[in-house]
Each structure stands twice: as structure tokens, then as C-alpha cells.
Amino acid sequence: MLLNYDRMGGLQWVLVFITVLVSLFLILPVVFIIALSFGSSQWLVFPPPGWTLRWYQEFFADPRWMAAFWTSAKIAVLVMIFTTALALITSFALVRGRFRGREILRAAFLTPMILPVVVVAVALYAFFLKIGLNGTMTGFVVAHMVLALPFAIIPISAALAGFDKSTEDAAIVCGASPWEARLRITLPSIRHGLFAAMVFSFLISWDEVIIAIFMASPSLQTMPVRIWSSLRQDLSPVIAAASSLLILLTLVLMLLAALLRKKAN
């Protein structure tokens, strides 16, 4: 009947039709950008009259784009390391702790995820103006950590909750110190949660626009800030090249995550 694909009758084709349309709607802009980045038309004519690598050459030859690229990469790696470490110890507290108000604390840790980013951005901007962290690497990393923390806590605490603590206890009974047991038994067992947390926190920082627009200074810009300010001037195909590179990175990370999950099963 309605939940059996082979027995839906005519309805099946209506639903398949809508699903195909929505899937095309979702995927075509991504394909479109990649096609334009290789297209030879300055004015973004589609389909492109010819193919070229010119926009990538311009991207890699422009010191401002390159500086933005490395700034983004540095910030994202730092955010990934600090956020995952912080989320790991916090998850131990949230999953293993037996203190009063644990559930309230968990909800509190997840609030940066629900608040509109623009509110956080404006608030941090005001605060950083006062203490002189605006336009600094530290400011960027701290601000992105606040945003990324919930997304790292969720997978790690889920993995930790699914891990049978008696394995760790067994190691301690067999003579391991508590920290040794955590390091050598628990951490490897929750590595998928840790990996997910690393991917999420990296991508959140790498893709983040709004806070970055406020934190950026002329000498310290991330890729999204650079794309944002170029977009406000014109729709140059170099932006398509830059966007395609961002998409490529996402693809690589997603495939890597999928492969690791497959290997784990």
C-alpha cells in the first residue's frame, strides 16, 4: 500500500516525479557552479562557449585569494583541534557525570546551535572590540569554537553513551590506571564519534560567513569573507573557481567519512 513501493500504483509515479524534480533542484546549482568555473565566458554564459583553466590560474596567482585560503585553513584546523578536545572532556562529564543539573547543562551547551548566528556575531563583535580581539586569529578561533562546540559534543557524547563502560573497568581490574584505560580502551572505541566531531568542527569553521564578516580586518580574511566581498562587487568566474574548491574539499571529507564508516561495519 502507501508504504510499499511496488504496490503504490499510479501514486508511485507522481511521487517519483516530484522526488526527481527536487533532487535535480538540489544538485543542479552545485553542478552549474563547477561547470562555470571551467567555462571560458567572462560573463558566465551557460552553456559555456569553451573550456578553460584560466579562473583557477587567476585564483592561484592572486596573493589575496591565497592568503585567504591559508587563513581559512589555519583557523579551521585550530578550531578542529581545540573544539574536539574540549568536546571530549565535556562529553565525559555529560555522559559519565552523576551531578545535579546535568540535563540542564547539556541543554545549555547546545544553545549556540539554536541561536541565530547573527546575534552571536554582533555580541562577540562588541565584546572583541572592547578587549582588542577583533581582526585577530585568536578572535576567529574562539568565535568559531563557540559555534562548533555543540556539533562536536553531540557525536562524541552519543559514541560515549553507546560504549560499554565495563570494558574500561575490565582494563582497570587487569591493572591499567584509569587514565591509561581511557586512553587505550575508551578513545579507540569512540573514534567514530571523535572523527565526526573533527569533520563537523572543521567544516563549520571553514564555511562560516557571518561571524567572519564581523571579525575580519583588511589584513586577515577567510575564504568566505573574500567570496562575500567579491560577490558584492561582481559575479566574476574566479568566485566560481573558489567555490568549486570549497565544494571539492567538502566532497573529499564526506567520502572519507563514508569510507571510514564502511570500513567500521
Q: How far is the CB of 224 from other proteins (least distance, A)?
A: 6
Whole-angstrom distance, CA of residue 136 vs CA of residue 222: 12
**Could you say which residues in the range 10-39 bind other proteins, by CB under 8 A?**
11, 14-16, 18-19, 22-23, 25-27, 29-30, 32-33, 36
- Among positions 67, 163, 250, 260, the unique one binding other proteins when judged by CB under 8 A: 250
What does the angle CA 124 – CA 63 – CA 38 come to, to the nearest 5 degrees? 100
Give the position of cell 585553513.
73
Does the protein bind other proteins through residue 194 (CB under 8 A)? Answer: no
- In the list 67, 172, 176, 209, the residue contacting other proteins (rule: CB under 8 A) is 209
Q: Which residue's CB is nearer to other proteins, number 137 or number 247? A: 247
When the beta carbons of 66 and 126 are compared against other proteins, the nearer one is 126
Can you tell me which of 68, 80, 145, 216 binds other proteins, judged by CB under 8 A? 145
Residue 91 grid cell: 562529553
Helix (H, G, I), strand (E, B) or coil at 49: coil
Identify the residue among 66, 119, 170, 259 touching other proteins (CB under 8 A). Answer: 119
Rounded CA separation 256/173 (Å): 37
Query: What mask of x and - would describe binding to other proteins in positions 124 to 143, judged by CB under 8 A?
Result: xxxx--------------xx
**Cell 562524541, residue located:** 156
Q: Which of residues 78-117 bind other proteins (CB under 8 A)?
A: 86-87, 89-90, 92-94, 96-99, 102, 105, 107-112, 114-117
CA neighbor of 35 nearest in space, from 18, 21, 23, 50: 50
Residue among 53, 252, 254, 256 that touches other proteins (CB under 8 A) = 254
Closer by beta carbon to other proteins, 165 or else 184: 165
Examine residue 4 and tell whether it contacts other proteins (CB under 8 A): yes
Q: What is the dihedral of CA 155, 160, 161, 165, to 10 degrees?
A: 170
Query: Taking the CA atoms of the chain, what radius of gyration do you get in angstroms?
Result: 23
Is 155 or 185 the residue whose CB approaches other proteins more closely? 155
Q: By CB under 8 A, which span of 48-56, 163-171, 180-188, 240-248 interacts with other proteins?
A: 240-248
Q: Binding residues for other proteins, how many (CB under 8 A)? A: 85
Q: On the CB side of 217, how many CA atoms lie within 13 Å of its CA?
A: 13
Euclidean distance between CA atoms 85 and 209, whole angstroms: 24
d(CA 256, CA 101): 38
**What 3-state class would DSSP assign to 41?**
coil
* CA–CA distance, 231 with 141 (Å, rounded to integer): 24
Q: Which is nearer to other proteins, 141 or 171 (CB)?
A: 141
Distance CA 125, CA 211 (A): 8
Q: Should residue 218 be labelled a site residue for other proteins when binding is judged by CB under 8 A?
A: no
Q: How far is the CB of 61 from other proteins (least distance, A)?
A: 21
